[in-house]
Amino acid sequence: MPISARNRMAGVVKAIEKGEVASTVKIEITKPSVITAMITKEAVEELGLKEGDKVEAVIKATEVLVSKD
């Protein structure tokens, strides 16, 4: 998926904690670095995210976005 953001880091989903509305997704970028993103529960479900998935942390301004091929 083409995107204009330049701050992109490949990683692996290490943990997902689903809440009622929001979820936290922990992405291991390079051992031992981990980025935690807060995204909607709906986004986790739409992306089909699960532990072990290869994803990209896309950082734009003050937000962290998650994309999956």
Q: If you average pLDDT over residues 54-66, what whole number do you get?
A: 82
Tell me the sheet residues that pair with 65. 58
* Domain membership flag for residue 28: yes
Task: Provide the pLDDT for residue 59.
Answer: 82
Q: Is residue 43 part of a domain?
A: yes
- What range defines the domain where residue 39 resides? 7-67
Which pair of structure tokens corresponds to residue 63? 């937000």
20 domain residue, yes or no = yes
Judge whether residue 1 has pLDDT over 80: no
Domains identified in the chain, total number: 1
CB atoms within 10 A of CB 66: 20
Torsion angles phi and psi, residue 53, rounded to 5: -65, 140
Give the CATH number for residue 53: 2.40.50.100
pLDDT tens-digit readout, 2-54: 777 778 899 999 999 999 999 999 999 988 899 999 999 999 999 999 999 99
Residue 46 falls inside a structural domain: yes
Neighbouring C-beta atoms of residue 43, cutoff 10 Å: 15
50 domain-assigned: yes
**Residue 1, domain member (yes or no):** no
Residue 2 lies in a domain: no
